A and B are shown apart, each in its own frame.
Chain A
Amino acid sequence: MESIFSQPLFWVFVFALLFAAAFWPGRGPFWRRLQKNQRQQRVLIEDGLKHVYTFRQREIPVTVESLAGAVELNRSQASELIAEMEESALLHYGESGLELTPKGEALALHVVRAHRLWETHLADTTGLAPTDWHSQADRKEHSLSPAEVDALAASLGHPVFDPHGDPIPTEKGVDAPPSFALTEAKPNQTLRIVHLEDEPPVVFAQLVAEGLHPGMAIQLIEKTDQFLHFVGEGEERRLAPQLAANVSVRPVRNHNGVMLGGAQPLNSLRVGEEAKVVAVSRACRGPERRRLMDLGILPGAAIEVAMPSPMNDPVAYRVRDTLIALRNDQAQMILIERT
């Protein structure tokens, strides 16, 4: 009897099967490879657009080198990328170097919007640390469609600023309120931090470690070449000018005085002492902030230290006739004025 392996039809069938398996639309390895390459290409193009967009916003000329650095490619690969983006009418060479076309600007705004909304989402609805927000959003921004981004904005209540204080673009564009670097502030000026630079991440991590956050009200005391000396949330702080250059501030207009002056963190209170809550720090966001509000810890509430736990953390406080235990890192974010 003839073996099945010598039948030509059998081999045709086997090859057809293999071919189908490899090139099955959307499923086979060939398509996967292609999709992965397309995804990577999309990430590169969008990152490139973002780079051009932010540099133009700050009025820094965009060069092939700066773009190559931003998307981590070598010079010739970056030139290829630019050529491709020009071909898809996203970029063109203008009077002052590379510029975005209207189509390119729309796409760049979409990516920036997706990035900042995702950061807001992470800050308000997850327990991730502030230093993780940026890197996660950098990945997520490329996989959200405009419809998904709009749905995300709606679910977050159409936020205006991201957790770093950056304005979230709308379809009309970005509307950043005027601000200046902390290094340009004058002594005795009362200011509010509106933005912390989140790139490079090292700088942002350092600023977070210093306890700074957008929304924090500060008062500059002294400015020298070595450091800036200021008060914020009841604590005296010092910052090197190199770091301070990454902090944007705005003068406080309707300054009601409560955030500054006598405001101190709750954990500075001793057993038996009474105080009035003046604010909950802006660093306390999302579910954590809502929890404090649920408990009635709001500006104006009287608060008294009832007793510490055996290991001094948490501490029990009496608020609105209820004993509530708070951990010290929470108490630090509640600003009070002694009564």
Chain B
Amino acid sequence: MTVDVSSAGMPSGLSPRQPQPNPPVNADSILASVDAFRREMTTDIHEEWVEAIYGEASRLAERSVTRPDQKARFDLDRTIDRAVTSRWLGFPIMLILFTFILWLTISGANVPSQMIANVLLGMVHPWLKGVAAAISMPWWLDGLLIDGVYLATAWVVSVMLPPMAIFFPLFTLLEDLGYLPRVAFNLDAIFRKAGAHGKQSMSMMMGFGCNAAGVIATRIIDSPRERLIAIITNNFALCNGRWPTQILIATIFVGGLVPAQLAGLISASAVVGIALLGVLLTFVVSWALSRTVLKGEVSTFSLELPPYRPPRVLQTIYTSLIDRTIYVLWRAIVFAAPAGAVIWLVANIHIGGPSIAEWMIQWMNPFGLLLGLNGVILLAYIVAIPANEIVIPTILMLTVLTAGVSGAGEGAGVMFDPGSTNATAALFTAGGWTLLTAVNLMLFSLMHNPCSTTIYTIYKETGSVKWTALASLMPVAMGFVVTFTVAQVWRLFA
């Protein structure tokens, strides 16, 4: 495109209206005639301004801008658009791409996760313990700092970093390519019926990677009401921190119900079922919110479909690692460190015999059982609020602590990984878990408060205590109601 400034000329077209016949000039008479004139006008003065400005701009552009022939590019865009938004191909393409990204994230993260865990947990942790022993650090300081703060932080890094380092760049590539707005375009009809914006599909997909990043991704929604809906419901997108929990529990309890050759398929369907339930809940809750508490918020719709462009791979990887991965990880670490201290302290401070953890578990157990869960699970969800990733290790540690399993675990307040699915299953059995516990844990993992990183992000994005509280408490309340109902119905029939 070339611009020839000399031919632009003087602006024209902004000619004033016919002057009003009002010879005696004083302030009051001018104001009176202005007021009368405003009442006569059938259109809005500001709109006429905008119209005139656009008109002038396009007049200038027409005279001084010449365009090279862009037809080939345009036709290619059109062909791609026809395919990815077509009635028959649109949805399958989306489904395949998204499943592929999720699969790559979940299965691809295992190897690097294991490697980081080997270094941070298998090598650095014993070495730190050794140093502490060498300088004869008091046992409580050693426990608090190394078994509490360090271990929780290292754990969060090893399980959080690899999936995010895979998911975010892939997602950003699709974004950069120009494909994601087409997804919003395809899905808007469904979201519209729930009172939401098609772009919520993008923040929701991001939520499958990480809810905190998903909440940030709602910035693309420029309509206040729909953006709040997307923020509040993002928690129903099963995040990376919860997929491993779902897969572990489904493998042990649901897969164990059927013959070995079917186990993989059945447990995978159970996990997918939970994720789909999350999607369904997103729509139901969006629908309810848009008709009740968010009714008065401003709602507008606009969706631009930018031209496709080849993705800038290196730049994308760089920015997605810095902007998203490191950012989210840093926030998680900031919250994980104190939580590690809390986890160690509740297991090691004793009040008249039992530790605080045991007291709390004992106290919450009746309530937990009413929900088809138990006290251990509830306490784990309270102390492991910084990251869903450390819920299972905390549950295992607390189970060993309370069920008195000998020969397992690393000691009070020390999170551990039993090493194999069978060993984990044995610990759950020792903790008195049943199929109901497993099903309700899967449901509660989907419907509970967002992690502290997400809660903090919601507060930063909305700037409102009210919406943050709603987004945090509503899912827990729903989780309590659902698990309670399931437990009662289950006990009625089983």
| Chain A residues close to B by CB (< 8 Å) | 125-128, 132, 157, 160, 167, 175, 177, 192, 215, 252, 254, 286-289, 291, 293-296, 298-301, 306-307, 309-314, 316, 320, 322-327, 330
Contact = CB atoms under 8 A, between A and B. Distances in A.
Given A309-B189, A324-B304, A314 B198 contact: yes
A201 B151 CA distance: 64
B14 to A, nearest CB: 15
Given A314-B198, A325-B303, A307 B298 contact: no
Interface in B132-173: none
B7 interface: no
A10 B473 CA distance: 45
A290 to B, nearest CB: 8
A307 B38 contact: no
A322 B181 CA distance: 13
A286 B189 contact: no
Contacts of B222: 291
Interface in B214-244: 222, 224-225
Interface string B88-114: 001100000000000000000000000
Given A126-B298, A310-B86, A325 B185 contact: yes
A300 B304 contact: no
Contacts of B42: 192, 215, 252, 254
Nearest to A313: B189
Given A192-B42, A215-B42, A291-B300, A309 B51 contact: no
B82 interface: yes
Interface centre among A175, A311, A313, A330, by most B CB within 10 Å? A311
Contact of B38 (A160, A215, A289, A323): A160
B466 interface: no
Contacts of B58: 320
A278 to B, nearest CB: 12
A286 B298 contact: yes
A192 B185 CA distance: 36
A316 B55 CA distance: 23
A300 B188 contact: no
A314 B85 CA distance: 11
Given A177-B39, A311-B189, A325 B296 contact: no
Interface string B416-458: 0000000000000000000000000000000000000000000
Nearest to B192: A327
A126 B39 contact: no
A68 B303 CA distance: 52
A192 B41 CA distance: 12
A215 B295 CA distance: 26
A26 B85 CA distance: 63
Nearest to A296: B54
A318 to B, nearest CB: 10
B188 A309 contact: yes
B82 A314 contact: no
Contacts of B225: 127
A295 B301 CA distance: 11
Contacts of A296: 54
Given A298-B51, A309-B188, A326 B301 contact: yes
B127 to A, nearest CB: 57
A125 B303 contact: no
A167 B40 CA distance: 12
For chain B, which range describes its interface: under 10, 10 to 19, 20 to 34, or 35 or more residues?
Answer: 35 or more
B188 A314 contact: yes
Nearest to A288: B300
B305 A327 contact: no
B299 interface: yes
B15 to A, nearest CB: 15
A310 B87 contact: yes
A286 B296 CA distance: 13
A314 B304 CA distance: 12
A94 B85 CA distance: 72
Given A167-B39, A296-B54, A314 B300 contact: no
A309 B85 contact: yes
Interface string B186-199: 10111010000010
B302 interface: yes
17 contacts: A126-B298, A175-B39, A293-B47, A295-B304, A298-B47, A301-B54, A310-B85, A310-B87, A310-B91, A310-B189, A313-B189, A314-B301, A320-B58, A323-B305, A324-B305, A325-B188, A325-B303
Contacts of B298: 125-127, 286-287
Interface centre among B192, B224, B297, by most A CB within 10 Å? B192
B10 interface: no
B50 interface: yes
Given A299-B51, A310-B91, A323-B305, 16 more contacts: A126-B296, A127-B225, A132-B295, A215-B42, A298-B50, A298-B54, A306-B78, A309-B188, A313-B188, A313-B192, A316-B81, A316-B85, A322-B304, A325-B185, A325-B302, A327-B188
A52 to B, nearest CB: 25
A310 B301 contact: no
Contact of A309 (B39, B54, B186): B186
Contacts of B55: 300
B296 A128 contact: yes
The 8 closest A-B pairs by CB, nearest first: A311-B189, A323-B305, A325-B303, A127-B299, A291-B300, A310-B90, A127-B298, A310-B87
Contacts of A325: 185, 188, 198, 302-305
B359 to A, nearest CB: 38
Contacts of A301: 54
Contacts of A175: 39
Contacts of B86: 310
A163 to B, nearest CB: 13
A299 B185 CA distance: 25
Interface centre among A128, A314, A330, by most B CB within 10 Å? A314
Contact of A293 (B38, B50, B295): B50
Interface centre among A167, A175, A324, A327, by most B CB within 10 Å? A327
Given A307-B81, A309-B186, A295 B300 contact: no
Contacts of A289: 47
A326 B189 CA distance: 11
Given A300-B55, A307-B81, A314 B296 contact: no
Contacts of B190: 311
A120 B251 CA distance: 59
A123 to B, nearest CB: 11
B297 A127 contact: yes
A219 B392 CA distance: 71
Nearest to A279: B43
A320 to B, nearest CB: 8
Contacts of B304: 295, 322-325
Interface in B16-41: 38-40
Contacts of B46: 157
Contacts of A293: 47, 50
Interface string B383-415: 000000000000000000000000000000000
Contacts of B51: 298-300
Nearest to B297: A127
Nearest to B41: A160
